Structure 1
Amino acid sequence: MKKRLSLLFSLMLVLSLVLAACGGFSKKDDASDDKAGGKKSDVPQELRVNIKTEPFSLHPGLANDSVSGNVLRQTFEGLTTIKDGKPELAAAESYEVSDDLTTYTFKLRDAKWTNGDPVTAQDFEYAWKWALDPKNESQYAYQLYYIKNGQAYNEGKAKAEDVGVKALDEKTLQVTLEAPTPYFLELTAFYTYYPVNSKVAQQKPDWYKNAGPDYTSNGPFKMVTWEHNSKIVLEKNESYWDAKNVKLEKIDMAMVNDTNTELSMFNNGELDWAGMPTGQLPTDSLPQLKKEGKLHVQPIAGTYWYKFNTEKPPFNNVNIRKAFTYAIDRKAIVENVTKGEQIPAMAAVPPTMFPENEKGYFKDNDVEKAKEYLQKGLQELGLKDVKDLPPITLSYNTDDAHAKIAQAIQDMWKKNLGINVKLENAEWNVYIDKLHSGDYQIGRMGWLGDFNDPINFLELYRDKEGGNNDTNWENPKFKQLLIDSQKEADPEKRKQMLKDAEQILMDELPIAPIYFYTNTWVQKDNLKGVEVSGLGDVQFKWAYFE
């Protein structure tokens, strides 16, 4: 949200192998060896990182962004967790699957919430149904649509008791799926699938808004301080079932939304890690850091794109959207602006999942085609000239890198299309609310895979009212292909369905892909064991200082 590699082929090959392994499942109970050789280290086990900004929400059912996710992954734990690219048992100690692969029965291990309450199967059932309850407006409710009647309940067409998740007893959770889902054990590691202390949540609905005794979690760390818009402090959760494998005693999370300040803090010894997945390095610093051998670069399954509000003129016209998309010089952006070995994106799904997408569906910086589409779009809108277009605003959340990208693309649209575009930025919480409410024309966003399957990038745009769609675009054929792909047992046929769906998305372009992500960061030399996944998220459970 992992190693230093330079050649594109090596980047893609290595990550492809890592991600391909995600289909396996390890049943190891101990997630980590004792890296310190059984001895308590004399080095302070206190980690300092930057998370840039205030989390959108620290409720697992409401979180929908990488900042919130990076905090929740330290404080909560699902039935499974991802380690070395593979799902491992976590809150569950075992599971069984029915012959038709649609019913999972999980046995929970003996674990406690930070307030001493036992973690129960009822807590999982409560949390999942809470996120699906339409009155709670969870943006990530669709992640639970794999569960039988999950979507129907979220859309008001079924009752909570119809949803296929049931606590058979305190330690047994039965989950029935709509159809066989080969990556379900990866899904259960995602934060929307985390449990919530049902006893606390039912008594105190605002339990998740501040640090304190009401904020109960079940992960390797507990939140002891939350100074809003300033910092979060986590401490080791001594009641965590696997506390013996947690070496860090404390994690300080600063909220500094200036990349130069973040790097300065690292250089001054105020941070132990700077850059992704929690923070951001200044793009201008990357070449020198690479030259000095300090920069870590890791390709991840993620796409940086611009979203069009397809219900606001002029982007209700597909040809105008094509003109704006084709007139972007992505190669220039990754070489001159982002400088982190990103890959120009002319597709939605990363090459780590669809290798052929390194080439994409259209030509980069195709100005000639862009001008053709612009003229066609103007005619369809009944306009004579670009001067007749309504004022156009490109919005992004406050961030130095986003600003530089926006300025570069603003210049490209002026040069290539003759169109003046205004730039507008806002702090993250304000910005994400504007996007979700449709209060924008063009908006910056990125997507890091939640699990290792192309459908995760495509299903965002399945439903117009989908929690993370924001574009107001919906296509019946696209939607049906995704639905049918969930029932297709033949992997090659399913892949083709998803490719056909992506073709529709790239024909109608409610989004303009810009580049495929890499993570870039620097870290203290004696910091070991940080788990940065191929999906771009981070876990500090196994981290320690030598």
Structure 2
Amino acid sequence: MKKTVFALISSITMLSVAMAGCGAPGQSSSGEQSQGENSAASDSGSTEKKVLRMNFASEPPTADPGLAEDSTSGAVVRATFEGLTRLKDNKPIESAAEKIDVSEDGLTYTFHLRDAKWSNGDPVTAQDFEFAWKRVLDPKTAANYSYQLYYIKNGEKANKGEVSLDEVGVKALDDKTLEVKLENPTPYFLELTAFYTYFPVNKKVVESNPNWANEASTHVGNGPFKLVEWEHKNKLAIEKNENYWDKDNVKLDRVEFSMVNDSNTELQMYENGELDWAGAPLNSLPVDVVPALKEEGKVITQPIAGTYWYKFNTEQPPFNNVKIRKAFAYAINRQAIIDNILQLNQLPALGAVPQSMSLNPDGYFKDNDVETAKKLLAEGMQELGISKLPEITLSYNTDSNHEKIAQAIQDQWKKNLGVDVKLANTEWKVYIEDLHQGKFQIGRMGWLGDFNDPINFLELFKDKYGGNNDTRWENAQFKELLNQSALEKDPAKRKEILAQAEKIFVDEMPVAPIYFYTDSWVKQDYVKGVQVSGLGDIDFKWADIEK
């Protein structure tokens, strides 16, 4: 989620996988009932345990921080792991590291680890961090978020097989001291170390069992909670980790997640007292009831750094033609989708980078520019030498709100361009695999920032075969501008360079931006302290139930 990203990425808000990021499996009525019974038993127990009940819109694809790339997996990983830093009130604070030294040139970070244990009782060591980061960069791991570690000296070269992993600039000086050397000064590096790709893993556990992260019985983390139950495609539960270094500040005893992919069912469960929270950032509120919820004053809404867009497969006709990509993008009426479907103060996206880090607040093109779209479509078809478009399919992961948006845009393309577009949906895990393998023409996705800087949105498309660049678009000038931005120390000049890069990106239109996210949810008044960051991440460390 993010992002994810990830998204990850629900539909009204994160259009979640999510992950950063977005979809969900089915749920039987018996599964819903057993979840409710389980929660009731916990609440009525004599120990007065504090149990928070929430819902995932999808099965988490993984609970491995090195492989996570969506908001659903990210929520589990953030609860069960801890990085060198952790975000609190949107600012990084010391976490696994109790002290951080930074060299004057900003190129060397020395992290001094506190005494901490894994959930199985093993000590958390600097070697675990070194192992985890090099594992992500190892080409054999095939981690889609490996580029997040390219800020580290030789990280990109190692990931591309140009140098050995031994030459990567991360080294455990001893059990409690981690030295990190960067390629360039990175002012937001301590935000990055709070992101799950930078989390440690228990080297001994990972090496002894390749499937350690797939089941609760074998999962080992170092976070405020531990994974205790995972009934796949049905429910998941985490409990307070008695080995966590800061356990005295963890108030919840347990968090239970059902897995229901229908937002209407989730809201009904909330209203029936089976859930304590509904909506973002793990799912979305059903669009049909949003006006009534707003009128009753029940909805909590906050803007987040995220963009909802449609990706084009630029290797397949007709979207290998830039004019046809732009025609489809220009023919979308974003404001109508926001007004009639989303209804939660989203903003039309006329660029890639969201408002919290905007490079061009006015955008790069007009919303619903039908005349220009028709002209570009005709020119693009002429360039391809075709008089009729091939069959076109718009794909999205299973979710009622994604479906409504897809249907609205399908109608707009028919009305504005005279184009018939088929709709196809699959559950999230299959959907994201199809996107990564290029098995799509137009595919829905959202991206939630992993940190609040434009590079996080633009670098997704730097390399044709980058982990999250499903469009397979690449541009040499765009890539060079991103490289220049990494070397530019003057913030104003760096912003100008990134603005040039975004303009190239939007001119080439490998994705059609649709809207900038807000997160919206309803919760019971007794739920306190849940952190939802400006990046759309959820953190339960400081959460409480006060009945």
Q: Normalised by the size of structure 2, how large is the TM-score?
A: 0.91
Name the CA distance, whole Å, in 2 between partners of 1:285 and 1:182: 42
The equivalent residue for 2:231 is: 227
Name the CA distance, whole Å, in 2 between partners of 1:225 and 1:55: 13
Stretches of structure 2 lacking an aligned partner (at least 5 in a row) = 2-45
Name the CA distance, whole Å, in 2 between partners of 1:311 and 1:529: 46
Q: CA RMSD in A?
A: 1.0
Name the CA distance, whole Å, in 2 between partners of 1:448 and 1:43: 36
Q: State the secondary structure of the residue aligned to 2:355.
A: coil
Name the CA distance, whole Å, in 2 between partners of 1:464 and 1:230: 36
1:265 paired with 2:269, answer: yes
Deviation at 1:297, TM superposition (A): 0.6
Per-residue Cα deviation, 1:48-77 (whole angstroms, up to 9, x for no partner): 001111112111111111110011111111
Alignment of 1:235-254 (within 5 A): 235-254=239-258
Q: State the secondary structure of the residue aligned to 1:516.
A: strand
Deviation at 1:504, TM superposition (A): 0.2
Name the CA distance, whole Å, in 2 between partners of 1:355 and 1:498: 7
Per-residue Cα deviation, 1:125-148 (whole angstroms, up to 9, x for no partner): 000000100011100000000000
1:457 paired with 2:461, answer: no
Q: State the secondary structure of the residue aligned to 1:429.
A: helix
Per-residue Cα deviation, 1:94-134 (whole angstroms, up to 9, x for no partner): 01111111000000000000000000000000000001000
Alignment of 1:40-79 (within 5 A): 44-79=49-84
1:368 paired with 2:371, answer: yes
Name the CA distance, whole Å, in 2 between partners of 1:483 and 1:254: 43
Which of 89, 111, 116 is residue 111 of structure 1 equivalent to? 116
Contact 2:353–2:359 under 8 Å retained in 1: no
Name the CA distance, whole Å, in 2 between partners of 1:56 and 1:79: 24
Alignment of 1:125-140 (within 5 A): 125-140=130-145
Per-residue Cα deviation, 1:357-383 (whole angstroms, up to 9, x for no partner): 2x2110000000000100110110101
Which of 286, 289, 296 is residue 292 of structure 1 equivalent to? 296
Same amino acid, percent of matched pairs:
64
Contact 1:43–1:545 under 8 Å retained in 2: no
The equivalent residue for 1:83 is: 88
1:389 paired with 2:392, answer: no
Contact 2:79–2:224 under 8 Å retained in 1: yes
Contact 2:113–2:126 under 8 Å retained in 1: yes
Deviation at 1:203, TM superposition (A): 1.3
Name the CA distance, whole Å, in 2 between partners of 1:390 and 1:530: 48
Name the CA distance, whole Å, in 2 between partners of 1:372 and 1:43: 66
Contact 2:356–2:452 under 8 Å retained in 1: no
Contact 1:485–1:497 under 8 Å retained in 2: yes
Alignment of 1:321-340 (within 5 A): 321-340=325-344
Deviation at 1:444, TM superposition (A): 0.1
Deviation at 1:42, TM superposition (A): 8.5
Deviation at 1:263, TM superposition (A): 0.1
Deviation at 1:306, TM superposition (A): 0.2
Per-residue Cα deviation, 1:474-521 (whole angstroms, up to 9, x for no partner): 000000100110110000000000000000001000000000000010
Deviation at 1:44, TM superposition (A): 3.9
Name the CA distance, whole Å, in 2 between partners of 1:86 and 1:282: 31
1:160 paired with 2:165, answer: yes
The equivalent residue for 1:27 is: none
Name the CA distance, whole Å, in 2 between partners of 1:193 and 1:131: 9
Contact 1:44–1:545 under 8 Å retained in 2: no
Contact 1:283–1:339 under 8 Å retained in 2: yes
Contact 2:359–2:499 under 8 Å retained in 1: no
Q: State the secondary structure of the residue aligned to 1:47.
A: strand
The equivalent residue for 1:13 is: none
1:187 paired with 2:192, answer: yes
1:148 paired with 2:153, answer: yes
Per-residue Cα deviation, 1:369-406 (whole angstroms, up to 9, x for no partner): 0001001101101012xxx2110000000000100000
Q: State the secondary structure of the residue aligned to 1:336.
A: helix
Name the CA distance, whole Å, in 1 between partners of 2:48 and 2:368: 51
Greater shift after overlay, 308-317 or 278-287?
Answer: 278-287
Alignment of 1:186-205 (within 5 A): 186-205=191-210
Contact 1:61–1:127 under 8 Å retained in 2: yes
Whichever residue aligns with residue 206 of structure 1, its letter is N
Q: State the secondary structure of the residue aligned to 1:446.
A: strand
Name the CA distance, whole Å, in 2 between partners of 1:202 and 1:44: 36
Contact 1:283–1:340 under 8 Å retained in 2: no
Whichever residue aligns with residue 273 of structure 2, its letter is G
Count of paired positions: 502
Name the CA distance, whole Å, in 2 between partners of 1:360 and 1:400: 29
Whichever residue aligns with residue 411 of structure 1, its letter is D
Whichever residue aligns with residue 374 of structure 2, its letter is K
Q: State the secondary structure of the residue aligned to 2:371.
A: helix
The equivalent residue for 2:439 is: 439
Whichever residue aligns with residue 52 of structure 1, its letter is A
Name the CA distance, whole Å, in 2 between partners of 1:284 and 1:541: 33
Q: Normalised by the size of structure 1, how large is the TM-score?
A: 0.91
Per-residue Cα deviation, 1:164-209 (whole angstroms, up to 9, x for no partner): 0000000000000000000000000000000000011111121111
Name the CA distance, whole Å, in 2 between partners of 1:464 and 1:199: 35
Q: State the secondary structure of the residue aligned to 2:466.
A: coil
The equivalent residue for 1:502 is: 502
Stretches of structure 1 lacking an aligned partner (at least 5 in a row) = 2-40
The equivalent residue for 2:23 is: none
Deviation at 1:355, TM superposition (A): 6.6
Deviation at 1:356, TM superposition (A): 3.8
Contact 2:307–2:354 under 8 Å retained in 1: yes
